[in-house]
Chain A
């Protein structure tokens, strides 16, 4: 399988990456090279093989659903590009 310019443009938007036409074309070349490389997986017989969901034999831990941390909004907001009144600030999303 290979990707065309239209697909690369769509994927860039899905990934929220702004790209000009030159970059789209460059990525198209790179992606097709990488997709060509991974194509070899098609020759592996995977009939009846379970996809891996956990690499170690361990049961995912559970805990009581209680608050164990928090209560320090200043620290949470300390690195925000814009914040006010205990909230992150973003451009207007509702007209």
Chain B
């Protein structure tokens, strides 16, 4: 067994017991990252920084003063600003931007003792479901091969691929419409999107501010619980971070599901429903019932409108957020005849096609004469979507069980049509629209490729949600990609 096969919980315990040293664990990861450059998971490995942090961790561990994640090497999605380390959001428009500050989430992780292995690939500004919109090129899913080049999902495709291929112990991700859960499902990893407001958004490059939320991608549910405990915080720098105490989510893991009520929403089926997907969904239901949960069938009638409302709300917020990229304060600048021409030339050269598409849609739906018909109506539909969930939770349902994605990892270049690509997030988007926590857990393999099941919880009930996820994981087992 290689050092890189240790889960976060195992690595943490061995480090604390001084059975292994962070320097050797970190070196093993640096070697693994070098050996798998063809996956394109890391766009900026930081081996020197990693070695330095590992050395400092070992010194602390030596004197028994280590933090809760002391010496654990992590990968960071390149949407999190890291002080002194280039941060690009995988867009050309940020150029060689080097943040003079650290995002709150990564600050929390470093304060807990974690080691930074580098920055991970993503879809440009987190807009995509396949990692193909990245200015640094796509990421290879370690479940694919040279003959079958598969997407690791998106937007956190670098994170999911790196966790699946054991190129970090765990990774950070962000989720606006499914960007943590969908890539986790497509790579056989665990992906957790916390309740909106659980993690601070400060220092995370903004996409759609009312939907964006940070969370972990990990190999196990336990590791996700540990990561969340050290990512979440109440933060004065983010007025939407909510004043609810952060729990020890790991301590809550083994509570089991006895007496819990799990809802199966009938609207989460697609036509045609792939057979394997329907089978795993049914299987998940049985696993939870066997473990003592009560299964109830519920209805969330506005589910079918969530994706359409999302593709108004998210681009509208994106078009506002991305107005800041004007070639004046940071990033690349393309000269022009006057200042407007400079803005237009800079933005034309700096943004990729998908980002432009969303800025255009967002600008249009917010423009005079169309605001009420599109944006205001979408926000009303969003209220109805949230109300559906509230009604179900009011009936005593503790969590909902659904598939995470409509299918397994697809081939790179396989979905050229924008709306077809958007449909990949059909089961994950409603969760963001309602601000709820959601987690994707590997359910099993179909034709050799992983599929995930999603659990949706009540606001700020991550502890309850993760104990149910742990039960699912125990029944389903864990899945590692074939050796390359």
Contacts and interface: CB of A to CB of B under 8 A. Distances in A.
A63 B239 CA distance: 10
A18 B348 contact: yes
Contacts of A88: 328-329
Contacts of B391: none
Interface in A1-26: 1, 3, 7-8, 11-19
B384 A49 contact: yes
Interface in B59-100: 97-98, 100
A6 to B, nearest CB: 13
B287 interface: no
Nearest to B313: A52
Interface in A45-70: 46, 49-58, 60-61, 63
Contacts of A81: 327-328, 330-333
Interface in B214-255: 236, 239-240, 242-243
A68 to B, nearest CB: 8
A75 B239 contact: no
B25 to A, nearest CB: 33
Contacts of B345: 18
A11 B305 contact: no
Contacts, number: 167
B236 A50 contact: no
Nearest to B356: A17
B92 to A, nearest CB: 14
A85 to B, nearest CB: 16
A18 B340 CA distance: 10
B338 A33 contact: no
Given A8-B360, A56-B459, A30 B418 contact: yes
B143 interface: no
Contact of B418 (A7, A33, A76, A93): A33
Contact of A82 (B100, B312, B333, B341): B333
Contacts of A8: 360
B365 to A, nearest CB: 8
Contact of A58 (B197, B333, B340, B383): B197
Contacts of B367: 11, 14
A13 B97 CA distance: 26
Contacts of A51: 376, 379-380, 382-383
Contact of A50 (B211, B319, B383): B383
Q: Interface of chain A, helix or strand or loop or mixed?
A: loop
B381 interface: yes
Contacts of A30: 357, 360, 418
Given A16-B347, A41-B378, A52-B386, A78 B329 contact: no
Contact of B363 (A14, A35, A56): A14
A29 B27 CA distance: 50
B330 A80 contact: yes
Contacts of B196: 55-56
A58 B242 contact: yes
Contacts of B336: 91
A41 B308 contact: yes
A18 B347 contact: yes
Interface string A76-95: 10111110000010111100
B308 to A, nearest CB: 4
Contacts of A53: 379
Contacts of B197: 56, 58
A40 B386 CA distance: 18
B100 to A, nearest CB: 4
A91 B344 contact: no
B383 A49 contact: yes
A17 B359 CA distance: 9
B268 interface: no
B329 A80 contact: yes
Contacts of A63: 236
Contacts of A37: 308, 311, 419, 422
B35 interface: no
Given A38-B311, A38-B312, A91-B339, A55 B210 contact: yes
Contacts of A82: 333
A86 B276 CA distance: 61
A61 B361 CA distance: 31
B418 A3 contact: no
Contacts of B386: 52, 55
B344 A18 contact: yes
User: Which A-B residue pairs are the 6 nearest by beta carbons?
Assistant: A55-B435, A51-B379, A79-B330, A81-B333, A18-B344, A18-B348
Given A41-B308, A49-B380, 13 more contacts: A15-B363, A16-B340, A27-B360, A30-B357, A30-B360, A34-B357, A34-B419, A39-B308, A40-B305, A51-B376, A55-B196, A56-B197, A63-B236
22 contacts: A15-B319, A17-B356, A17-B360, A27-B357, A30-B357, A34-B311, A35-B364, A41-B305, A41-B309, A41-B377, A44-B380, A46-B381, A46-B384, A52-B210, A58-B243, A60-B240, A61-B243, A78-B100, A79-B100, A79-B329, A81-B332, A90-B342
